[in-house]
């Protein structure tokens, strides 16, 4: 019984560690656009402006450390107009300034 319980407990972090993008899909978000960070990305600090290759600028609203070296960006939005951004599959919150 104990080896089975240990196996289940070890498997839980793998399931809970699913990418934030997948979690956002389950919460009703859908992909609006894919782009990349224009330049390097070292994470978010409130007020930091992150330029994107599509001409948009993401302004961070909270502190969050970058989790990887990739700069792939996926912009998602729900039915209520709430926009979230994932960079290297980690979710970042803030404001997306659209190009004019």
- pTM exceeding the 0.85 threshold for the entire prediction: no
Q: For 3-42, write each residue's pLDDT tens digit.
A: 443 333 333 333 333 356 788 888 899 999 999 999 888 8
7 within some domain: no
29 within some domain: yes
61 within some domain: yes
91 within some domain: yes
Q: How many CA atoms lie within 13 A of 43 on its CB side?
A: 8
13 within some domain: no
77 within some domain: yes
24 within some domain: yes
User: What's the domain count of the chain?
Assistant: 1
Domain holding 92, by residue range, is: 19-97
50 within some domain: yes
């Amino acid at each position: 019984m104990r080896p089975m319980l240990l196996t289940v407990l070890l498997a839980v972090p793998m399931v809970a560690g699913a990418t934030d993008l997948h979690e956002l899909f389950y919460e009703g978000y859908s992909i609006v656009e894919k782009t990349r960070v224009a330049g390097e990305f070292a994470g978010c600090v409130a007020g930091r402006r992150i330029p994107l290759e599509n001409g948009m600028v993401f302004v961070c609203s909270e502190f969050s450390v970058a989790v990887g070296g990739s700069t792939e960006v996926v912009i998602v939005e729900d039915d209520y107009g709430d926009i979230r951004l994932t960079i290297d599959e980690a979710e970042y919150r803030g404001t997306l300034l659209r190009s004019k």
